[in-house]
Amino acid sequence: MSPPAEVHPIEAESYRILGSRMELASLPPLMAAVTARVAHATADLELAASLVADEAALAAGVDALAAGATVVTDVEMVKAGLGGIDARCWITTATAAAGSTRSAAAIRAAVAEVADGAVWVVGCAPTALVEVLEQALAGRLRPALVVGMPVGFVGAAASKEALRASGLPALSNVGDKGGSAAAAAAVNALARVARGAGRPGSEALRR
């Protein structure tokens, strides 16, 4: 595996090691790009191998990012991990309702302000992903792509399973693992494609 062009030698060596430990050639181009980036960002090959997405959904995410679609994150940590992306997060001003969480409240606040075709990224709170699904089911949220990678022993795996069953264009992973770094890395991989590093089917996506 070759690293992305114009990278620091340490990153280049990291990609070389990754290429010796993980087989990506059999994956579709966008899925290969996302898997490599998540593996590189987390050093967790098991997490990267657990990713699930349809190539068409990832392509829709690339097109949305290229068109300047709004990117919404559940927490500030995901937002901070996005490189060169003007993402938005409502958690600092959100107030949790009784029996709910601030992350879920932040999603509800975002839905009131964000147009259809946004990219929704959940990397921390399962309750935020559940809220995304409920809002979509109610017809109040029509995403270009939902990146659902919350982490934890309570609700994370179930919320991602529900996302996969929802029919929404989605990228998720199976199991309890996930997290802000992984979710941000996945979006960064798609954003790199959107900025012209390659298009679906391009060999550049295998870097």
* DSSP code string of 52-107: EE-HHHHHHHHHHHHTT--EEESSHHHHHT-TT--EE--GGG--PPTTS-HHHHHH
pLDDT at 29: 95
**Other Cβ atoms within 10 Å of 197 Cβ, number:** 16
pTM of the model: 0.88
pLDDT at 205: 36
pLDDT at 2: 47
pLDDT at 56: 97
Token pair listed for 153: 């022993």
pLDDT at 176: 97
Task: Read off the pLDDT of residues 139-154 as tens digits, 9 standing for 90 and up.
Answer: 999 999 999 999 999 9
Domain range summary for the chain, segments of one domain joined by +: 52-194
**Other Cβ atoms within 10 Å of 23 Cβ, number:** 10
Token pair listed for 1: 């595996």
In angstroms, what is the C-alpha Rg of the chain? 16
CA-to-CA distance for 195 and 198, rounded, in angstroms?
A: 8
pLDDT at 154: 95
pLDDT at 91: 95
Q: Selecting from 3.40.50.720, 3.40.50.10230, 1.10.10.10, 3.30.70.980, what CATH number does the domain 52-194 have?
A: 3.40.50.10230
pLDDT at 170: 98
- Annotated catalytic residues are 40
pLDDT at 122: 98
Q: Give the residues of the chain that fall short of pLDDT 50.
A: 2-3, 198-207
CA-to-CA distance for 59 and 166, rounded, in angstroms?
A: 18
